[in-house]
Amino acid sequence: MKRLLGLMTTLALATAPLYARQADPEQDEDDPRAQRAFARLSVSLGGTGYNRVEGLPFLIGPVARSAGPNPFRGRAALIVRTDPAFSLDQVGYDVQGEKLLARTFVIGAGAYSEVRAIEDRGLSNVDNSLSAFVFHDDYRDYHNRQGVYLYAGYAPRRGPLSAAAEFRTERHDVLGRGNPGSIIKNNNPWRFQPMIAEGKVHSLAVGLEFDNRGRRRVSGRRGWLIRGEITKALGGKDLQFPEVAVTANDPPLRILTIDPSFTIGMIDVRRYTAIKDLSINVRLAAGGTLSDRVLPPQYQHTLGGRGSLPGLNAPAESPGASVPAMDCGARTLTLVSTDLAIGSPRFYPFYGCDRYVLFQAQLEGYFGFRIGPEDFSLGGDPTDLIFELVPRWIAFFNASQAWAFGALGPFPRTDEDRQYDVGGGVAFGDLGFFVAVPLQGDERDAKLVVRLGSRF
């Protein structure tokens, strides 16, 4: 079931992901003790981690599981936030339940009201949370989603292929930046949020995954990981932008209603090769609109920065390193809106590009010595961060390009030409220290990058 969970969670630089999530992520079906029934009160961190909109979100509520090898699992949680901009009447919720059938199939449903990241931008939640809390750099952008979903999945316990399908109906709303604290630069304002199209969206998403790499997650992998996903909007005629203006004294602008029939797709192909102590990993990913039309901002994409091309510089007019370098001109100006109840009324006019392609290649090996007696991880789950006490050297090359299919109302958008960077460094499991250099542009200064999480 963890393989199905992996298919249904957010993919780096992917389209809007299949939403279904395992009700009890601590369960391990290979452990006989996991077949016992239980019910308990659970307190856990929210899926977005620490961010400039909510602060730190907490999920508080009961988690239950029935007995047997094909259990029913469920959770009902309230989502509370630490940022003072959120009042008690804006507490979110996450209710979900699923039934395992023949230890191979799963069906489930849920309802939610939560803050969601538009993209994870290739960074783990821990990595982005620490960057925001310590350095006042939040690399992600967010919006609010409220809705319900139904899903079905196929994930045999043995075998490389899994699949899932999901129907959801939800409402999207704009969120302004909040005012949570940070250790460094705490007196500085957080960077602005992007404007999105608000309203209801009905959609059907299907996804496939082929994964024959085996279980070693950090190094020594061999095989293929291939993921594909298509999301079709079945309705959303009321998707509209709030009224905005360039300054508070200008007359309001009304951006045209977004096309409700958009179709988006994603393909992510990765090859992992291990030759003794040497690993060669290659990835080709592409995603975005399949109809050559402008996407609603909450379905757009950005590239550049620590998660994809760490050597690229942010645009010269940007307010910080956390701004994506490739966003099709989304952050060249800001707008004012008076329709919002949460956070700052100033926003960027959109989020990013309508289509992208990304190539990544990585070569890694061992120095031949160990620091300390053994390796360790944060927690016992394979999705947790792993720290190896055997240092590895890593060299990498990245290339990307992105496209915008027209202006968004009165605001121009531009394609992003091909960009490249190279770099290398040292990694201890998921903790890596790298230097990256862009291969294009006038500014080719080396950048020091620290990551918590595997590159791919």
pTM > 0.85? yes
Q: What is the residue range of 21's domain?
A: 2-452
CATH number of the domain where residue 214 is located: 2.40.160.50
Half-sphere exposure of 272 (CA within 13 A, CB side): 19
CA dist., res. 437 & res. 401, Å (int) = 17
Q: How far is CA 23 from CA 27, 63, 147, 167, 379, in A?
A: 9, 8, 17, 18, 18
The H or E element spanning position 4 is helix 2-8
CA dist., res. 132 & res. 126, Å (int) = 10
If one counts the domains in the chain, the total is: 1
CA dist., res. 45 & res. 47, Å (int) = 7
CA dist., res. 183 & res. 108, Å (int) = 41
Can you list the alpha helix ranges (DSSP code H) found in 42-139? 125-135
pLDDT in tens, the chain (456 residues): 445 444 444 332 233 333 333 333 344 555 666 678 889 998 988 888 999 998 999 999 999 999 888 889 999 999 998 887 766 667 899 999 999 998 889 999 999 999 999 999 889 888 999 999 999 999 999 999 999 999 999 988 778 899 999 999 999 999 888 889 899 988 888 999 999 988 899 999 999 999 988 765 555 578 999 999 999 998 766 788 887 777 766 677 777 656 778 999 999 999 999 888 899 999 999 999 998 889 999 999 999 988 899 998 776 556 666 889 999 999 988 888 766 544 457 899 999 999 999 999 999 998 877 776 555 544 444 445 777 788 999 999 999 999 999 888 788 899 999 999 999 999 988 889 999 999 987 777 889 999 888 877
